[in-house]
Amino acid sequence: MKKILALTLCVCLVCCAASNTAAQQNENAGTYTNEETPGAAKANTNEKPGGAASSYTNEKTLGAANPYITAGQSAQPSEELTLTRIDIGKGSTALLVGAPKAEPSETADLPPNPNRLLLVNYSTPIPQSYTAQLVNIGGGHKMDKTAAGYLDEMLSDARKEGLSPVIVSSYRTNKKQQSLFKRQINRHTNRGLTYDEAFNVARTVVAYPGTSEHELGLAADIVAKSYQGLDTKQEETAETKWLMENCKNYGFILRYPQDKSEITEIIYEPWHYRYVGVEAAKVIMENNLCLEEYIELLAVAEK
Ligand SMILES: [Zn+2]
């Protein structure tokens, strides 16, 4: 029987993201990044039996004894909404809402990717044992085979809406990532920065080699056919607006949101989508979290 978890955490995760404006634009195509942490916590969330909005319960302040509350009354927990109340500090709370509906039917036969919540970022490199399970997705691109199925469905549905999304980057080898990173450093040293200065700018724009979600095969950079700039104007395109609104339904998140750069250490990238699975994606996108925050919530809940 599926375990139902109800977590209510008093975690000051959401408040630390005072928007840094590192969102300088990422001028050159081919520069993107990504992150992810090992130890992938599994995407449990909380479910609230009964479907009534008010029945989520549990609250737990950080440090309180038992973060798990089983609410096993539901015969069909997988069909239930999952609700979590978190204390975000200063007397405020936020409700995490996850609706663990079935993954899109066309790809429901794909086994879950155990690495979907693997966090990589500047301080958390890709584990040496990681091996991407890649498939060709056309256009010279490769993706993790599970993510590829959901990506295909997402883009197909976008096209049915009359949109023209274009994948401009997907899986990258470590060698390719190194090349992009060096190019970014050169661009800044050519402008007069010291190597160290250039390095510190570069790593907010292009993930340091060995820490890129593109190396995982779980991320894709997607732009509008009509505007392919990797800059903040990308968010104004109909394609990006649709993707930001709907990516969660296919298990993708906008990995580097505008107001989370202090946490992700990557500039705002309104083109970089990371596969995390539908359940996690809904919680993350509906609650304005970044993956680091979500992983930390899970870690606290599992203590
Ligand atoms: Zn990217």
The least confident of 3-17, 44-58, 104-118, 140-154 is 44-58
Q: Distance between CA 266 and CA 86 in Å, rounded?
A: 25
Task: Tell which wins on pLDDT, 103 or 116.
Answer: 116
pLDDT band per the 50, 70, 90 thresholds, residue 65: very low
| pLDDT of 266 | 95
- pLDDT > 70? residue 130: yes
- pLDDT > 70? residue 200: yes
Distance 212 CA to ligand 1 centre (A): 8
Catalytic residue (choose from 47, 153, 269, 293): 269
Q: How far from 289 is each of 166, 176, 300, CA to CA, in Å?
A: 25, 29, 15
Task: Tell which wins on pLDDT, 271 or 85.
Answer: 271
Q: What is the average per-residue pLDDT within 109-119?
A: 81
Task: Tell which wins on pLDDT, 217 or 92.
Answer: 217
Annotation marks residue 269 as catalytic? yes
Burial of 252 (0-12, 13-18, 19+ CB in 10 A): buried
- pLDDT > 50? residue 278: yes
Please provide the average confidence, as pLDDT, over all residues in the chain: 74
| pLDDT of 261 | 96
Distance 246 CA to ligand 1 centre (A): 18
| pLDDT of 110 | 60
59, β-bridge pairs: none
Q: Residue 60 corresponds to which tokens in the numbers above?
A: 């737990």
Number of neighbouring beta carbons within 10 Å of residue 224? 22
Distance 199 CA to ligand 1 centre (A): 18
Distance 215 CA to ligand 1 centre (A): 10
Q: What is the average per-residue pLDDT within 247-268?
A: 96
Q: How far from 238 is each of 199, 234, 241, 248, 272, CA to CA, in Å?
A: 34, 9, 5, 17, 16
Looking up tokens 């790809």 gives 107
Q: Residue 133 corresponds to which tokens in the numbers above?
A: 């399970």
Query: What is the percentage of the chain residues whose pLDDT exceeds 70?
Result: 63
pLDDT band per the 50, 70, 90 thresholds, residue 235: very high
Task: Tell which wins on pLDDT, 239 or 82.
Answer: 239
- pLDDT > 70? residue 81: no
Distance 58 CA to ligand 1 centre (A): 37
| pLDDT of 184 | 95
| pLDDT of 109 | 55
Q: Residue 33 corresponds to which tokens in the numbers above?
A: 């990044």
Q: What is the average per-residue pLDDT within 16-40?
A: 33
Q: What is the average per-residue pLDDT within 205-219?
A: 95
Distance 23 CA to ligand 1 centre (A): 15
Q: What is the average per-residue pLDDT within 39-45?
A: 33
> 18-41+103-290 adopts what CATH topology?
Muramoyl-pentapeptide Carboxypeptidase; domain 2 (3.30.1380)
